[in-house]
Amino acid sequence: MHSESNAGLYPQGVTVLGATGSIGLSTLDVLARHPDRYRVFALTAHRSIELLAELCQRHSPRYAVLADVQGVGELRTRLAALGCSTQVLGGAQAMIDVAAAAEAPVVMAAVVGAAGLLPALAAVRAGKRVLLANKEALVMSGRLFMDAVRSHGATLLPIDSEHNAIFQCLPPAMQAGSGVDRGITRILLTASGGPFRDAPLDTLANVTPDQACAHPNWSMGRKISVDSATMMNKGLELIEAHWLFGLAPAHIDVVIHPQSVIHSMVEYVDGSVLAQLGNPDMRTPIAHALGWPQRIVSGVSPLELCKIGRLDFSAPDFTRFPCLRLAYAALEAGGTAPAVLNAANEVAVEAFLQGRIRFTDIASLNEYVLTHVNSQAASDLEIVLAADVRARDEAKARLHTLER
């Protein structure tokens, strides 16, 4: 993942893409604990005007970017009333521009979904330290994205708790992007199983969006919470792990671990299994990536193993979690298949959250689109983006047969 010098002068400028989401807010919490090391250069959001205005007042970034240009005027008015001098920009290109701006050598890529691909890629092409929380960037364009990391000398640090845990369990040489003979036999991605891991299968069709978003361990946005409930989130992480760490699907296993204390494990040829443990708080991987290779304070409370008492593990059931099976199938198919699956899932989850389809329809819609949109070689970004559009069109056309 490439080494970088830590000799740069502090404080370092940081851009937070997706500042109003749960990862963005956790990032700002960690940054605020280290004003001598970091300063906020730019904050972006989709359309959360009120919250973005509050964050600008608190962190005084040079730029605030709204992807939804219709809210730009209102945000400017709010900031003026607050006496905040932050400059407001709007639109997708503005997000790309602040991601690439030289004044911020560190970028937190935390935009949810396919919309986060181009800004994250812009930061990579600018040779920055990129803290990647947007798994869809690698799901959609894994080989292209990783090639860009290498060719532009970027430093890519994973923020998903599972991938950050794996990174922490790697030898230092491999963390720095060198060392071919790694001696790794298997990666074990842990998963809580979400709110329905023990629910009777015949009740899943009738669960509500609020029930699906009630994650037992983590505080997350609604889209990723639904993905956790279907385990599509773990499927996307499976694909992301393949590209980050270079292991074939057969060497990446998913393990249900309800306590969410072990965040993932790495198995080596000598029989050793290294695990990273911690409380389920995203500030831990965020602080790790910000400070790497040093350690900095995150604000997370210490792990009390004696209070936890037990750690449980079980294999995932593909009957209960068909989306995980589809992710394995998409990764095996390769090419644009992962991008197709991701696009279908974004349409399906949005429809479920709107009450238009049942919870169990998410997997059936994903499978339909994955089997009806042919996979192509993902040889350039235009092909990937075109596959994303085709998959969304196919999913939307299919929705009317499922709508309640």
Can you say which residues are annotated as belonging to the binding site for Mn(2+)?
160, 162, 237
What are the C-alpha distances in Å from 146 to residues 124, 154, 293, 369?
Answer: 9, 10, 21, 26
Residue set of the binding site for NADPH: 20-23, 47, 134, 136, 221
Look at residues 118, 177, 135 and name the one whose alpha carbon lies nearest to residue 23.
135
- The 3 state secondary structure assigned to 96-151 is HHHHHCCCCCEEEECCCCHHHHHHHHHHHHCCCEEEECCCHHHHHHHHHHHHHHHH
**Number of neighbours of residue 165 by Cβ within 10 angstroms:** 27
**Token duo for residue 270:** 């000598």
Please report, in range form, the residues annotated as the binding site for 1-deoxy-D-xylulose 5-phosphate. Answer: 135, 161-162, 192, 215, 228, 233-234, 237
Handedness of CA 46, 382, 130, 62 (dihedral sign): negative
In contact, 255 and 191? CB cutoff 8 Å: yes
Q: Enumerate residues 6+ apart whose C-beta is below 8 A from 240.
A: 135, 138, 139, 142, 158, 160, 163
Strand 129-132 versus strand 184-191 pairing type? unpaired
| H helix intervals, 309-380 | 322-333, 337-353, 361-372
Binding-site residue numbers are 20-23, 47, 134-136, 160-162, 192, 215, 221, 228, 233-234, 237
Instruction: Tell me how far apart the alpha carbons of residues 240 and 301 are, in angstroms, rounded to a whole number.
Output: 28
- What token pair was written down for 226? 């639904």
